[in-house]
Structure 1
Amino acid sequence: MILDQGIILEYYLDDAYADDCERILHDLIEGNCEGDLSDFHLHGTIAIFNTYFKERAPDEIQDLIFSIVTASGLDLYHLSARDQVQICEIQRNSVLDFDDATLVHCIDVLDAETIITLDGDLDNYDGAIDFDVLHPADY
């Protein structure tokens, strides 16, 4: 599965689906399931942590990175320049923004089947790449 950054943010910011997202993250950390997170989405999460956590941001960011690096079931996918050009093509040929097009690209190149997200925009994708969208509440 491909992990959207919203899953991490929902948990850390203790929003409405925090418990569902915690279960997913726990399973990834323990290796009970497998998933991938792009470095683009990690960096986006870090940027939000800087704003949200203010003085605590360095500690929270370090904890997040440590959790990702040591997670038994989660791999970090590093986007190359070629990946980013291909993401622009997905974006150009669909209604998706770069963020969501990155998720679709990762599904394709990593041969995954499911994107786990809170974002409803992926429901409007009508391109050639097939995937399932899973809401954390349905995990």
Structure 2
Amino acid sequence: MAFELAPELQRDCIELATWPLCKVLLMNDCQYPWFILVPQVEGLREIIDLDAQQQLLFWQESKQLSELLMSVFEPDKLNVAALGNMVPQLHVHHIARYVNDAAWPKPVWGVNPAQPYTEAQLVELKKALAL
């Protein structure tokens, strides 16, 4: 079987980049700088399902994305989490949070309806990230 992105991620996200292991996605909700790493390996549900080399590469890519988000967005807190309760395909959220964001201090899920990015916002975001 070839790798396919879960339908929910296809529906809710914008693909920004393909790194050696992971796809880098942007959640289409401009209320939060919300990114998702998805290892391009078929059938993954948990990080422990990656082999040792893939785990190392995953953590390197997570670190790379985390450092990029800290540099570009300068958040008060960076939330990194792999939940998978609604989407079982392994995907890891990287969310830049601010004490004055729309959901603080709660998790971002379900607090407010998503507000999709405009084309202009996406252009600026991609430029800032240089992905």
TM-score higher than 0.5: no
- Give the number of the structure whose residues are more often helix, by fraction: 1
Taking structure 1 as the reference length, the TM-score comes to: 0.33
- Give the number of the structure whose residues are more often strand, by fraction: 2
Q: Which has the higher contact order (CA 8 A, sep 6+)?
A: 1
Taking structure 2 as the reference length, the TM-score comes to: 0.34
